[in-house]
Structure formats: structure tokens, C-alpha cells
Structure 1
Amino acid sequence: MPVYLDHAATTPMRPEAIAAYTEAMGVVGNPSSIHSQGQQARRMLEEARETVAATLGADPIEVVFTSGGTEAINLGVKGMYWARNAGARRPRILVPGGEHHATVDTVEWLERSEGAKASWLALDPDGRIVVPSSVDSDDVALLTFLAVNNEVGTVQPVSALAAVAHAAGVPVHVDAVAAYGHLPLDFSALDVDALSVSAHKIGGPVGIGALVLSRASTVVPLIHGGGQQRQVRSGTQDVAAAVSFAVAARLAESEREAEAVRLAVLQDRLIRGVRAAVPEAVLSGPEAGAERVASNAHFTFPGAQGDSLLFLLDMAGVSVSTGSACQAGIPEPSHVLIAMGRGEEDARSALRFTLGRTSTEADVDALLAALPAAYAQASRAGLAERATRLGR
């Protein structure tokens, strides 16, 4: 039976979410139509919005459904940037190194196409964002950052960062895709302006996410049309996906505290086991505890290529990743580890193990059984590759 330890990329849909999706797909009616069938669809959609909002500490009107986390991040970052530059020129975007590529590529596109200027905030050696003492706000459009680093699992100081930005009148967008379902998220208490989440990371369907946008915030939309969802995101809304998302969100939130305890035990077993099986392995990010999400264990394996280890483990029936699935198949060093001050060779030797609702002790043990042989083979391949490169 294959072992799946890549839950940060996507996690299996919950049976309850599949059932809700299937049932809702049988309902006909555009939720913008005024006839009875349209209004039935509307009720289902708005009840789903209320449920998702409740899991995020937000008002339902603040939840804007999107096609997923990437669109939500693009809408939050681009939309806020454009809105802030509608009057006074504010080209600068504050963004930490090591962000998800949905943010990095969006910011770099704004630099190329819209004249934006990225100001990259530093990470410490554990991947924690270094909180600036103040922000020179005259030319700053926004601050955007991860709540939890999706690659190394570091929990970021959200409230501290937001407080510094808001003291200077700078709006804040938070990418909470990797935090949702693992940490408590209270949009109101966090005092941020926008927050992005995705359904398929918590057992919902692929193809739906949300941007939580405060009532006081203004964004320029990416998509124009019928003006659905506060004129922020036009288009006929996917009722079935929203209903399924809501079911997954409700269950994930109700189980979150107990699941965090269970996953912390598995995480400890995995980290201790990797260190015993491969003493050369180096844990990236903070030690397990409050500053690391319980689902993540990220290691570098000196002398081995991460992609080689991934394929060898896959041949042994264990699915892991070298980092974000959005960059899978691209043989480049981890930009997260580079931002943390690690060298390029080190950054090419990374593997990310991520746990989820279906993970068991047997899954961890299967990884630990397969890892030593895979590392030995990948190390030999690494030596041969380096010898070829040096012309020996």
C-alpha cells in the first residue's frame, strides 16, 4: 500500500466533503437568478460562506470565494497594489524572502509590468521573518507574507508584523494556505486586511479557495463581469464546491486541536527516526513545538540530491516532496533555504515530509525503513555527479 507523506501539496478529500459535493451537484439553479431554484442555490451558497467565515473568525460578507489559493493571493496582492496606486504613487511591496511562488511570482510580475519595487524582508536561520522595527510608509503599497512557511513549517509572527505595518498605515495581506486547519485563525483578532486560504489543503475539493477581505479594505478586481461578491470577484459561483469546502472547513476546525496533538506525536516519531536512520540529516526550521506547525518535518541530506531521494523513495512506495508542488519537476535549489542563509548545494538536498488526517505510525515507519537505502544510493549518485562535474 503506497504511503502518502505530501499532505502540504494536497490532502485527500474527506468522505463527507465528497458526499456533500455530489449531492449539491444535483441542484440546478444559478445563485444570481431570482426564481425559486436560483434562490435555493443562493441559500446553499450563503450558508457555505457563513460556515467558512465562522472557521476563520470573519463576517460572511468578508469571504470572497475564488478558484483556489493562487487566485486568492493574486487578488489580494495585485488588487491591493492597484487600489493603493490609484492616487498617490506607492510602488513598494514589502515581502519576505522564502514566500510561496504564488506570491513571489505575483510580486515579480508587478515589478516587470506595473513598476512595482519589491523590498525583501530577511528570514532568520529558522525561516522566521525578521520583524522590522518600523516601516517607512510614504511609498509602500502593502505588506504580504505567509502565516506558516509552506516549505519548512515555521510559524510566523503574524500579529507583530501586522502591528508594525498598520502603525505606518500600510495594509497587510496574509497567505494562510499552509496554516488553515492547523492553527487557529481569527481574522478579526489578527487585525489584517486580507487573508488567503484554499479548500484542498483541508480535505475539500481542488478548485476553490477564498480571500477574506475586511469590510474597510479596497481592492481592484482581477475579473470583471456581473459584479458578484462585492464587485470584487465576478463570475457565476460554484455552489457545489462551496458547499463541499464548508463541510471540510467545519470538520477541520472541529478536529483541529485534537489533530494537532496527534500529529505532533507522529512528527516527533518522524524527526527522531530520520535523525537515527540518517545521522547526517539536518532539520530545517525550528525544532518541533509552538514555532513549527505539527504537520511538517523538513530535512536536508548532505551529499544527496533531493530529487534523487524523492524518486528513490517513490520507487519504494513512499510519496514525499522536495518543496512546493507548484515548483515540482523544476530542478532548482530551494529558494526558501537560500533565504534562510543556507548554501546552494544544501538547498538542493532538501526533502519535505508532511503529515495529515490519514497519516499513521505505519506510514512514518515505512518511510524510516526505506530512507537509509535511498540515502545511500542518492549519496553515491551525488559523488559520481560531482566527480563528473570536476572532470575526474
Structure 2
Amino acid sequence: MSNVEDLLKQHGKAIKEVYLDWENGTRIEEEVLEAMKPFYLEKQFGNPAITHRVGWETYDFYVKAKTTLAKPLNVQPQSIALTHSFTESNNLAIKGLAKMNKKRKKIIVSEVEHLSVIHTAKSMFSDDYKVVILPVSNDGTVNVDMLQEELDSETLLVSLQSINHEIGTIQPVREALEIVKDFDEKIFFHTDATSAFGRIPLDLSNLDVDLASFSSNRILGPKGIAGLYIKEGIKLKSIYEGQLSVETLSPDVENPALLAGFAKAVELQFKQFEEIREHTIKLRDKLMYGLHTSIERTDINGPAGNRRAPDNVNISFLGCEGEALTVDSSMNGIYASSGSACTSRVLMPSHILTAIGRKPEEAHGSLLMKVNRLNTEEEIDYVLEKMPKIIERIRSITGGIQI
């Protein structure tokens, strides 16, 4: 029997379950699944690039679905390239741009970007690129004064996330963009908008960024499909070798079923955008401040109020260890994560928490919880009832000393 099987057998299933790990894994809704079925079971499964009736019908749907994706972003559907994930979108934005613009050799990112941005930028070292990592404040806000100082005639790209995925910081993207374009309009600006799409208003035409990444699974759409907004006139080169089709940057991405699910998820998320936003803010504040006031020696990671993502709660429980937190919470039916998804099985502190000044032991003792439209106030009440006892138990075992 594997270790995972042992854990499942040992822990059993909690009487009540509350899922708050939406950052690392999401489900789809019934309406999304129903929207996808015809493209698996009926004639609409065709390749939109093929010139026969089934292909034409699929292509017609393809155009309409991309229009649905583009509408809440206030951009034209032809400006959206489909990809397999936001990680791929971020890779394409950086490497695809660099391949088309080889004269400038400097890329600027922040130290709290998703690792798909940081690692992609650093991979350019081998091609003689200079990569500048901007520091952040203790609530995760990027230092725009430092950005101003780093801009020069060699700068190709600035990549700054819209919202931090771990601590919920809403970054000053508009201010940063104005600084960049005032210095030199030829410098490109990319934003990883994955954690902002569907959570805050995101008018890309008004914001006037050059490139923006976003994803289906973060709004309860299917995994395996995402998008990259590319401003008109900007050229990227595919980072892949192989045959390309309707989509000219990513191979084998023309999956009508996934696109149908993505479009339906967008429709559902934005149909009641303000109501969903108010609902998640209410749950976020009840959970975050409820835990902070009911449990001693806790620190909220990230900013407060309207500078924080409406769905994000990240708290350090001093004197606790991350793995114990997630396991004990799981035994009580509360599912959250310690650290980021990409490093959750490695006992390394989150690079984002250490960037905002958390000591490794404080970072290890943090829980990331996210709420969305499927969560209820009753679920939050359950978490607030159980978590003080969970923390008390862990601290009693460790003596309150971080391990």
C-alpha cells in the first residue's frame, strides 16, 4: 500500500468538508460540463482548421467562444491566443517576445511573481539577457520607484502580476505601466492576470497593457486551456517546433470541448460579477479576521481592505508547522494549502512569504485559503469553530516552538 493510501485509510473522511484550496485545484460546475459534452459526443468535435462542413461548424463556434472570452476584458477576440495553461501563457509572453525582439536584452520582474514568470525570465540568462528582480514591501507591493531606476535603453520587457496568487496583493499595474511608457513606449509590458481575471474589473483596453495571461481553471472552468491577450501590432514567435493550426503560437490547442467549457465558465463568472465579488469579500473578511482574533500569535500575510484580492486569505500560525497544519485541517474536513502549489510537496518556504520578510519558520507555518462563489457562510462558521482547536493541538505537541 502506498503512503497516500495509508494516509487516506488512517484519516478516513470527515463528517463535514470545506474546500478552500481553490488556488491549487478546482472543479467545474454542471453547466460547464453540459456545455462541453456536445464537442465530445456530437459532430462539433471537428478541427476548426479543416475545410469541410464539420470543420466550418466548429470554426464558427470557435469564433463565437473567443468573443465570449474577450468581452469581459474589453478586447477584440482576435487579440486572444489560446494556450494550454497560464504557465504556457507566461512562457510565451516572455520567450515569444524575446525571439521577435533580439536587440534589447533586459527583463524586469518582481520577486513575488509566479515561478513560471521568474524561472522563464531567469532561463534567458543563457542568451545573454540581464534579469532584474524588483523587491516588494512587507505587504507584497512592488517598489515602483525601484522600477523607475532600473529602466534603460536596453530594457525589453517589464512583467508585473495584477494580483499576487498567494497573499492577494493587488499590484499598482497602472502606475507601473505609466512609468514604463513615459520612459520609453518601446518597452513592452506584460501582466500575469491569472489571479485577477474574474475577481476584479479587468479592462485591458483601458489599461493598455501589451500582454496579459489568464486561465480557465481559476474561474471554475476546465483545466488544460488558458489565454494570452496580445495587443494589436505586437508580434510573438512560437516557442515550439511542430505544426500549428488556427492558433499560431501553441500547437494542438484547438480543443473545442475545453473552449466551450472556458466560455461557459466566463459567462457564469461575469453574469453576476458584482454579487459574486461581494459574496467572496464577505466570506474572506469573516474567515481572515475571525481566525486572526480567535487564535493568538497569528499574522495576516498581505494587505488589507480594497488592496487585497476578494478571495484571498493567508495567515501564519506561529508555533505551527505547515505539514501538520494541512494534515490536521484535512482530518477535520478543511482543505487548504501551505506554500504554493508548485512547491507544496517540497519542504521549502514560499518564495513570496520570504520576500515580504517572513522567517522560514513563519512561512512554513502559513495556510493559504481561498473562497469563491461555491463557498457558503455556514462553511466559514465551521472553519472558525474547528481551527482554534486544531492550532491548540499542534502547539501542544510542539510546545509552541516552530519545527
TM-score under structure 2 normalisation?
Answer: 0.90
Q: Offset of 1:349 from its aligned partner?
A: 1.4
Q: Offset of 1:102 from its aligned partner?
A: 1.4
Moved more, 272-281 or 176-185: 272-281
Q: Which residue in 1 is equivalent to 2:77?
A: 60
Q: Which residue in 1 is equivalent to 2:361?
A: 345
The code of the aligned residue for 2:331 comes to M
Q: Which residue in 2 is equivalent to 1:232?
A: 249
Q: Offset of 1:223 from its aligned partner?
A: 2.3
Q: Which residue in 2 is equivalent to 1:126?
A: 139
Q: What is the aligned-residue identity percentage?
A: 28
**Would the aligned equivalents of 2:69 and 2:263 in 1 still touch at CA under 8 Å?**
yes
Q: What is the CA–CA distance in structure 2 between the aligned matches of 1:17 and 1:110, rounded to whole Å?
A: 38
Q: What is the CA–CA distance in structure 1 between the aligned matches of 2:282 and 2:166, rounded to whole Å?
A: 20
**Would the aligned equivalents of 2:32 and 2:264 in 1 still touch at CA under 8 Å?**
yes
> Would you say 1:212 and 2:233 are equivalent positions?
no
Q: Offset of 1:106 from its aligned partner?
A: 1.4
Q: Offset of 1:228 from its aligned partner?
A: 3.1
Q: Which residue in 1 is equivalent to 2:6?
A: none
The code of the aligned residue for 2:119 comes to D
> Would you say 1:137 and 2:173 are equivalent positions?
no
Q: Which residue in 2 is equivalent to 1:332?
A: 348
Q: Secondary structure at the match of 1:290?
A: helix
Stretches of structure 2 that go unaligned for 5 or more consecutive residues are 1-15
The code of the aligned residue for 2:118 comes to V
Q: Deviations over 1:70-104 (max 9, x none)?
A: 1111111111122222xx2x322101011111112
Q: What is the CA–CA distance in structure 2 between the aligned matches of 1:82 and 1:342, rounded to whole Å?
A: 37
Q: Which residue in 1 is equivalent to 2:13?
A: none
Question: How many residue pairs are counted as aligned between the two chains?
Answer: 382
Q: What is the CA–CA distance in structure 2 between the aligned matches of 1:136 and 1:184, rounded to whole Å?
A: 28
Q: Deviations over 1:294-319 (max 9, x none)?
A: 11111111111122111110111100
Q: What is the CA–CA distance in structure 1 between the aligned matches of 2:253 and 2:136, rounded to whole Å?
A: 40
* Cα 1:163–1:229 shift into 2, 3 Å: farther
The code of the aligned residue for 2:81 comes to V
> Would you say 1:94 and 2:111 are equivalent positions?
no
> Would you say 1:278 and 2:291 are equivalent positions?
no
Q: Secondary structure at the match of 1:245?
A: helix
Equivalent residue for 2:37, pick from 8, 11, 22 = 22
Q: Deviations over 1:303-338 (max 9, x none)?
A: 111221111101111000113222221111121111
The code of the aligned residue for 2:228 comes to L
Q: Deviations over 1:133-181 (max 9, x none)?
A: 3553222221112100000001111111111222223101111111111
The code of the aligned residue for 1:143 comes to V
Output the aligned Cα RMSD.
Answer: 1.8
Q: What is the CA–CA distance in structure 2 between the aligned matches of 1:228 and 1:385, rounded to whole Å?
A: 57
The code of the aligned residue for 2:299 comes to V
Q: Secondary structure at the match of 2:51?
A: coil
Q: Secondary structure at the match of 1:146?
A: coil
Q: What is the CA–CA distance in structure 2 between the aligned matches of 1:236 and 1:355, rounded to whole Å?
A: 30
**Would the aligned equivalents of 1:22 and 1:240 in 2 still touch at CA under 8 Å?**
yes
* Cα 1:373–1:237 shift into 2, 3 Å: same
Q: Offset of 1:184 from its aligned partner?
A: 1.0
Q: Secondary structure at the match of 2:307?
A: coil
Q: Which residue in 2 is equivalent to 1:312?
A: 328
The code of the aligned residue for 1:149 comes to N
**Would the aligned equivalents of 1:134 and 1:164 in 2 still touch at CA under 8 Å?**
no
TM-score under structure 1 normalisation?
Answer: 0.93
Q: What is the CA–CA distance in structure 2 between the aligned matches of 1:102 and 1:299, rounded to whole Å?
A: 24
Q: Offset of 1:60 from its aligned partner?
A: 0.7
The code of the aligned residue for 1:155 comes to I
Q: Which residue in 2 is equivalent to 1:115?
A: 128
* Cα 1:138–1:171 shift into 2, 3 Å: same
* Cα 1:230–1:7 shift into 2, 3 Å: closer
Q: Offset of 1:229 from its aligned partner?
A: 4.6
Q: Which residue in 2 is equivalent to 1:259?
A: 276
* Cα 1:134–1:384 shift into 2, 3 Å: closer
